[in-house]
Chains A and B, each alone.
Chain A
C-alpha cells in the first residue's frame, strides 16, 4: 500500500475518531431533525410502522414521503441499540475520504491530487458543524450520490456495470427527495455536454432518462396528496415564506469561505473553469452538480445548510482537477522546482483553513445539542403537564420537545406537509419578541399554547433574556429554569 493510501487511512481514522469523541461526549444528538428520525424509528420498533399522522408535531399533522430511512434507522436501533446510531456519523466520516480518493483517482489517474481532495473532504467545516452527532439524511445521501455518479460514469452494456446503476437509481429514488437534485444534475450535464459539442456515450442518455423518470415518478407518487392540495408550492417544501426570504441573505463570501474552505473554493472554481474549457465526462458531471446546487440555492428550492453541504462536496471533488491543472501549469514554468514545497504549503493550508475550523466547528455542535438540564426540563414537562398540552419552543427545538416530553409543539423544523407553517412561524417569532401583552395573549389563545420554553439558544436567536410581556403579567409564570438560563413559562389565564 502506498504512502498516499496509508496516510489517508490515518487521516480518516483521525477524523472518525474525533467525530466519535464529539458524538459520545454528549448523551444527546445534534440537530432538531435527528429527534424526528429517532422518534419515528422508535415508533417503528414499537408499532411496526412509521408514524404517518403525528398528533404532537404542529399539534397534529401528516408526514408525507418515503419512510425508508426511518425503517433503516429503526433496523439499526433494534439490532445494535442507540450507540449504533451514534456511530453512524463516525463511520461515514471514516469511509467518505476513502470514497472520494478512490473515485477522483479513478478518473484523474493522479494519486497526489486525489489525495489532496480526499484529505480536504475529511475536514469540511460546514459538514463538521451540521452533521456531527446527527442523524441527518444527508449523511447517507452524500456517499450514495457519489456512488451513483461513479456507477453512472462506469455504466456500459455490460450487465456487471449496469446492475449497480439500476440498483442505485431505484435506491436513491425511493429514499429521499434529494435524489431530484441528482436528476437535475444529469439534465444539466447533458446540456453542458451538448454546448461543448461533446457527445457522451449513448447509454448515459438512457441512464439519465431512467433516473429522471423514476425519481420524478416515485417522488410525485409519494407526495401526490400534498401536491394535489398545495400544487406547485410543494417545491418550497412547506418552508415559511419568511425563512425562504432568509435563504439567500445567509449567503456571503465569508460564510462560503468559512463553511467550504478557501482552498476548495479557489481550486474548485479553477477546476470548473478548466473542465469547461476542456470537458470530460466525470468532471463535467461534478461541474453540473455544482451548478445545480447553486441554481437551487438561488431560486430557494433548497435550504441554505443542505445546499452549502452539497456544494462543499462538489467543490472538493472539482478541487482535485484544479490541483492537477495548477501543478501541471507550475511544472511548465520556471517555478517547476517549487512543486514539492508548493504541495507541502497546500497541505499546511489545508490544515489551517480546513482541519482547524472543522475541529472547532465540531466542538461547537454542543450549542445545538440539548444539555442534560434541558433534558431534565423536558422530562419535567412530560411528568407535570397534561398530555394534550401545547408547548412553544424555538423552531429548532420542536422535535426535541416532542421526543423527550411527548407533548404537542407549535411548530418544528419538519415543514413539508405541516399545517399553516407561514402563520405559525410568524406567531412563533412574535411570541418570542413582542412587547405587547395583548398581542401575546391573542396568539397564545389562538394556538392554545399552555407553556413556553425560552432556551438559551432561542434567547440568542431573538436577542432576549426573558419574554417582555411576561413581566408583571399574572398570566405567565416561570415554573422551571435551567442553570444555563432556560426558562419554562406556564400560561394560566
Chain B
C-alpha cells in the first residue's frame, strides 16, 4: 500500500461522500435532527452525568452514556450549541469510518479501485446514511471497532484491544459484540484473549450491578427484526437494498469458492446476522461485512466472462441503478421522517396554552422522545426501555387507555399516571394503535366533554384531559 497514492484517492473521495451524506439533513424543511434517538441522545447530552431523567417515564434511572459525554464535551470545548455539535459529530464519525474502511481493505491488498468502490457502496448504503444522519452511539462503537482492526493490521495489538474494551462502556449489547469479535479473532489466531473478554463482560455488567436487572421490554414492542424490516423496498427504516443483497450473494459465492479459508469471516457474518435478528440496530454493524460482500459481488460480476457481454452490461447496469434508486428513495424518506415541522408546531401550541413543564403526556412509545425532547414534558413511556420502570405494565395500561370503552378504566389509567394531555398522530390512527375512527379512546375524545382538543394539525392532535 502506497500511503501517498492512497491519500490522493481517499481524501477527495471522503470529501465527496461526506457532502452526499449530508443530503437528508439539507433536504429537510427546517434543518431539524432526524429520529427520536437523536433527540433523546441530545437531551441526555445536556446533562450527561445525571443518573436520573425527570421526564422519561415520568422519572427514571438514567445510565451514563459515553456518547452524551462526548457531545457535551464537544459543545463545551468548541463553545458551539449542542444541536450543531449533534449534527457535526455523526458526520465526522461517518467520514472516519469510511476512511478506516478504505485503509483496512488496502491493508488486505485489495486494489485501490476495489477499495474505493467498496467505500462508495458503504457510504451509499441506507444503514450508513442512518448512522451519519442520526445521533446514535452505535456510530462511535463501529468507529472504535474499525480503528481496533486497523491497529491490529498494523500489529499494534495492545491499543487495538484497548479500543475494543472501550466499546463495552456503551452498553451490554455492544459488549456482547466486542466479546464476539475477540472470540472470532481468538479462533483465527489460536490466541484467546481471555482477560480482555472477562474485562469487557464485567464492564458490560456495571449498569446491572449499579442499578439492578432492568425490567424487560414490552414483548409487543420488540426490537426484533422481521425480514420485511430488512428490506428498504418493503419499508424498512434501517434496511438493505434488494439489489445490494443480490450482489452480496454473488460476493458470498466468490468467497465460498475458497471454502473454509475465510472461516472467521463467515462466522462474523453469521454472528452479526443473528444479532440483527434480535435487535434491529444490529443492521448497522452487519452492514460493514455486508457491503464488503456486495463490493466483492460487483467485482465478480464485472470481471467474470459471460456468455453474452450484452446481458452482462445490462444486468450490471440494472443492479447499480437499483442501488442508486434505493438510496435516493431512502434519502427522500429520511428527509421527510419525523420529527416533522408539525411536531414542533403542536408542542408550541401546547406551550402557549400550558406553560407548566411538570405535566405528563400520554402517547405511543414511538412519540415518547418528542414529548420529552421537543415538548420538554414528561411521558408515560418511550422507546428507551433499558432500565425504565415497568415498561411492560405501562404499555399494557396504555393499551387499556387506548382501547377500552369503559370510561372508569380510562379514568383509572389517567389518574394512575397523572396524565394531563394525550398526543395522537396519524400513524396511531392508521393501524399503529387504532384501525377505526371511533375505536376505544377515539370515541371518548369525540363524544366526551372530559377531553378538549387543543391542537389539530394535518397529522397530529393534542387533547387535554379535564376529568
Contact = CB atoms under 8 A, between A and B. Distances in A.
Residues of B in contact with A, size category = 20 to 34
A474 to B, nearest CB: 27
Given A216-B242, A217-B318, A231-B234, A224 B311 contact: no
A340 interface: no
A166 B310 contact: yes
B307 A203 contact: yes
A159 B242 CA distance: 30
B329 interface: yes
B322 interface: yes
Interface string B221-254: 0000000100001110000001100100000000
Contacts of B8: none
A232 B243 contact: no
Interface stretch (A112-120, A133-141, A204-212): A204-212
Contact of B319 (A159, A166, A213, A231): A213
Nearest to B322: A217
A122 B307 CA distance: 38
A68 interface: no
A216 B322 CA distance: 10
A230 B426 CA distance: 15
Contacts of A203: 307-308, 311
A232 B311 contact: no
Nearest to A170: B314
Given A206-B315, A214-B318, A162 B228 contact: no
Interface in A229-283: 229, 231-232
B208 interface: no
Nearest to A209: B315
B315 A220 contact: no
A206 B235 contact: no
A213 B311 contact: no
Contacts of B242: 216, 220
Interface in A147-204: 157, 159, 162, 166, 201-203
B307 A206 contact: yes
B226 to A, nearest CB: 9
B306 interface: yes
B312 interface: yes
A227 interface: yes
A95 B359 CA distance: 75
Binding site secondary structure of chain A: helix
A221 interface: yes
Interface residues of A, number: 23
A213 B307 contact: no
Nearest to A234: B234
A227 B234 contact: yes
Contact of A229 (B235, B243, B311, B322): B235
B311 A206 contact: yes
A228 interface: yes
A210 B314 contact: yes
A206 B312 CA distance: 8
Contact of B311 (A201, A210, A221, A227): A210
A216 B321 CA distance: 13
Contact of A220 (B233, B308, B319, B333): B233
Contacts of B246: 213
B329 A224 contact: yes
Contacts of B20: none
A166 B235 contact: no
Contact of B235 (A157, A159, A201, A227): A227
Given A202-B307, A213-B246, A227 B314 contact: no
A210 B243 CA distance: 12
B243 A217 contact: yes
Contact of B318 (A213, A227, A229, A231): A213
Nearest to A223: B233
Nearest to A163: B310
B239 to A, nearest CB: 11
Nearest to B310: A162
B329 A210 contact: no
A160 to B, nearest CB: 12
A207 B325 CA distance: 23
Contacts of A221: 325
20 contacts: A157-B308, A159-B310, A166-B310, A201-B307, A202-B307, A203-B311, A206-B307, A206-B315, A207-B311, A213-B318, A213-B319, A213-B322, A217-B318, A217-B321, A217-B322, A224-B329, A228-B234, A228-B333, A232-B228, A232-B234
Given A209-B315, A210-B315, A210-B318, 20 more contacts: A162-B311, A166-B310, A201-B307, A202-B307, A203-B311, A206-B307, A206-B308, A206-B311, A210-B314, A213-B243, A213-B322, A217-B321, A220-B233, A227-B234, A228-B234, A228-B235, A228-B333, A231-B228, A231-B234, A231-B235
In the A-B complex, the 3 residue pairs with the smallest Cβ-Cβ separation, listed nearest first, are A228-B235, A203-B307, A206-B311
